[in-house]
Amino acid sequence: MSQQSIQQILSLIQPTGEIHLGNYLGAVRNWRNIQDKYSCVFGVADLHAMTMPYNPKKLREATWKMIYQLLAAGIKTENLFVQSLIPEHMELCWILSSVCSYGDLSRMVQFKDKSSYLRDSGGKDELVSSALFFYPVLQAADILIYRADHVPVGKDQEQHLELARGIAQRFNTTYKVDYFKTPQPLYTEVPKVLSLADPNKKMSKSLGDKHVINVFGDPRRIQKQINSAVTDSGEADPDSMSPGVANLFQILRVCGAEATYKRLEEDYRNSRLMYSDLKQSVSDVLLDYLAPMQERYAEITQEKRKYRDQIKASSADIRKKAQDTLREVREITGLQNVKY
């Protein structure tokens, strides 16, 4: 796509505390690669984290930890913000709720999945908050407040982006304006990284620690995880890799070890591959690939105050864009304007 066709890109990530390999390859690496080509804003969505049961102190810590990890992964300071430092997101959310129907929200698949998870894990008395039901409107506000042209999305977020597009269109129709753009999805080549412990499932924190490789985790633990990765019994058809073996080969490829990939793939095709050699190669390649980010993370965490101040400053700068939008939205919707 030409630079003219994409002017503004917006994406957010929840502060789950650790970026795992699936997160990095599925989102963060793409953010790093596009930030020099387009106008980008990337946020840590701490408000969204409130939709599920949480500990306030741990949320604050996890938010800053995610910021440090994003910086270590190569995201530029000036492109990063903390969602709760820009309260205009919440204000626009309320305004947009007036043009979003209950029916639209009730069809959101993630609400059904997460509410079922809460009930199953906490019992029938576990609170399913209205925020969990309502947060797609906040997600729409996150996108529309920066007038985003494109939003990098995975397949699991398509429904929420479609809702944001619908809200933008209904706002324009309701107020007879051509104000909000209808943001388009930005699809990229995203490798699906599977759990090493259960390669029939996608790598996810919800499965437990043994299922994820933390990008900034202890190298010895990463090596141990790879060494214990599920492969197969050795009796599979050589023309049809098992999910576990294919997953290890994919990690080699996404880390750029093409020569090693081809050599071991040839061994596999000729039925002479030893899984111990494959795992050792994956371990060596992945640890080399992660080392620069881990070193950068160690440096950043030694100067936390400096980086917190920088992100607070970048959030304040990015907030000015949000305030410009709110001034105009207040005027369009007949609300009293305030001096930001």
pLDDT tens by residue, 34-66: 998 899 999 999 999 998 888 999 999 999 999
Q: Point out which residues pair with 202 in neighbouring strands.
A: 194
pLDDT of residue 13: 94
For 319, the token pair is: 């907030």
In a domain, 282, yes or no: yes
Structure pTM?
0.90
Asked whether residue 197 is assigned to any structural domain, the reply reads no
| pLDDT score for 106 | 84
* pLDDT tens-place string over residues 28-42: 999 999 998 899 999
Q: Which two tokens stand for residue 36?
A: 């020099």
Same domain as 38, residue 20? yes
Sorting pLDDT into bands at 50, 70 and 90, what band is 294? Answer: very high
- Residue 2 confidence (pLDDT) above 60: no
Mean pLDDT of the chain: 90
> And the tokens for 107?
């069809």
Q: Does any domain span residue 200?
A: no
Nearest to 304 by CA among 59, 64, 14: 64
Residues 310 and 289 both lie in one domain: no
SS3 49: helix
| Same domain assignment for residues 127 and 173 | yes
Domain identity same for 180 and 217: no
- In angstroms, the Cα distances linking 186 to 4, 15, 244 are 14, 22, 29
Residue 340 lies in a domain: no
The CATH number of the domain holding residue 255 is 1.10.240.10
Residue 313 lies in a domain: yes
Q: What is the mean predicted confidence (pLDDT) over 244-271?
A: 94
Domain assignment present for 196: no
* Domain range enclosing 291: 205-299
Half-sphere exposure of 270 (CA within 13 A, CB side): 7
**Residue 110 class from Cβ within 10 Å (0-12 exposed, 13-18 middle, 19+ buried)?**
middle
105 is written with which tokens?
Answer: 């929200």
Contact 83, 89 (CB under 8 A): yes
Query: Is the separation of the CB atoms in 233 and 264 below 8 Å?
Result: no
Task: Assess if residue 338 is contained within a domain.
Answer: no
Residues with catalytic function: 114, 202, 205
Structural domains in the chain (count): 2
